[in-house]
Structure 1
Amino acid sequence: MAATEGPTVAQSSPSSTPLPPGMVLGPDGKPCRTCTDWKSWSKLAKTKKAQTQQGGSGSESAGASSSSSAGSAAAAAVVTAGAGTDDTAVNATAPDDCPPDREVLGRATWTFLHTMAAYYPEKPNEREQTMMKSLLSSFSQFYPCGHCAEHLRDEMKKEPPKVASRMELAWWMCGMHNKVNTMLGKDEFDCNKLDERWRDGPSDGRCD
C-alpha cells in the first residue's frame, strides 16, 4: 500500500544467506513477503535452494566439506548476482495461488479502500462517521506490511481522515494514494475521475 520506507532495504543478512537488493526485513528481522516485491522474494528463494543443493552434495564426503562450502557460497553469489542483472531469470509476478507480495497486496488494498469510499453515505450520520474513523485507525494498525502501516499512521496524524461526506472521504483517500504514488515514482491519479473509476464506470459504457 505504502512506499518502502521504515525498515532498511536489506543487502545482506547475519545468516549465511545473502539477501538480494530490494528485500525488506520485517519487525522480527526476517524477510517480509508482504513488504517485498515478488522478484526480490523469488531471488532469495533461489539463493537458498542453491545453497541447500550445494550443502547436500558436500555431505557425501567429509574430505569435500571445505570445497563444498566454498561452492555453496559461490553458487549463492552467482544466483543472487545473476538474478539481479537478468530479470528474465525470475518471474516478474507470482503464480495466482501464491501468498500476496507487496504489489499484489497494495493493488487489492487500494481497490478495497477506494471502492469503500465510493459507496460511503453521501451524508453519513455521526455513528457512521465514527465507525469509518475507527475502521481506518484499526486498518492502519493491522495492515500486513508493517512499515507501510506505520507510514499510513504517520500520514493520518498529519492529515486525519475526512469523513463528513462521501466525496470528502473519496478525495482524502485519493490524496493518500497519490502521496504513495509520488514516493514510488508513479503517476498521480486524477481525483476528478474517482466515481468513474470506482463506482459508475466510464461514460462509453465499456464496463456495463
Structure 2
Amino acid sequence: MPRLCNSFRAVLHLRTVLICWFVVLLFTHALALSPAISSEYPRWQWPTHQGAQVLRNFDKPAQKWNSGHRGVDLAADDATVRSPAAGKVVFAGKVVDRTVITIEHEDGRRSSFEPVAQPLKVGTAVKAGEKIAEIDPAISHCSQLCIHWGVREGTGKSAEYLNPLLFLGVEDPSVLLPIGEDFAA
C-alpha cells in the first residue's frame, strides 16, 4: 500500500510540474506575440511643421460624455495642413461653424483637422506628408495660427480618442504602476 501512495504522489507531482510548465510556456508565448508600444503607435509625420509647439494638450475626459480636449492644438508656421500618414479622405465638410477634414489611415484610425479651408474631396487617397487642406484664417481657434488635430480608433459609439502626440513619438502611453501597502506608486 505505501508503494501505491508513493506512485500516486509521484504522478500528482509530475502532473503539477507539467501544468506549471505549460502555463509558463503559454505566458511566454503570449508575451512574445503581444505588440510592442512602437507597433501599437506607428510613427507618423507632423501635420504642420516638424516639432510644432503644442498650444493645448490632449485632455481625455473621464467619461465619453464629459468635457475635455480630444486632440491637440498645434502651432503652424504657415497655413498648410499635411496628412500625418497615408490614407483616404472620408469626410470634408462643415461641423457647426467650421470646416473639418477627416483622413482614415491604412490602420483604420482616423485623423481629423479643424478649422480648415480648401480641403481635398472625399475619396481622395493621400500619402504621408501630402497637403490635405489649409488652416482657415477666418476662424481664430487659438491666439495664433494653429490647427486642432484629433485621432480616433474604432467607429460609432465604440470610437476612442487617442493622444495624437503618441503617433509622433513625443509622448509615451500612460503606464499604471502597482500600488504598495502604503498606497504609494
**Where on the TM-score scale, by shorter chain, does this alignment land: which range?**
under 0.3
User: What is the TM-score of this pair, normalised by structure 1?
Assistant: 0.23
Q: Which has the higher contact order (CA 8 A, sep 6+)?
A: 1
User: Whose radius of gyration is greater, 1 or 2?
Assistant: 2
**TM-score, scaled relative to structure 2:** 0.25
Say which structure is richer in helix. 1
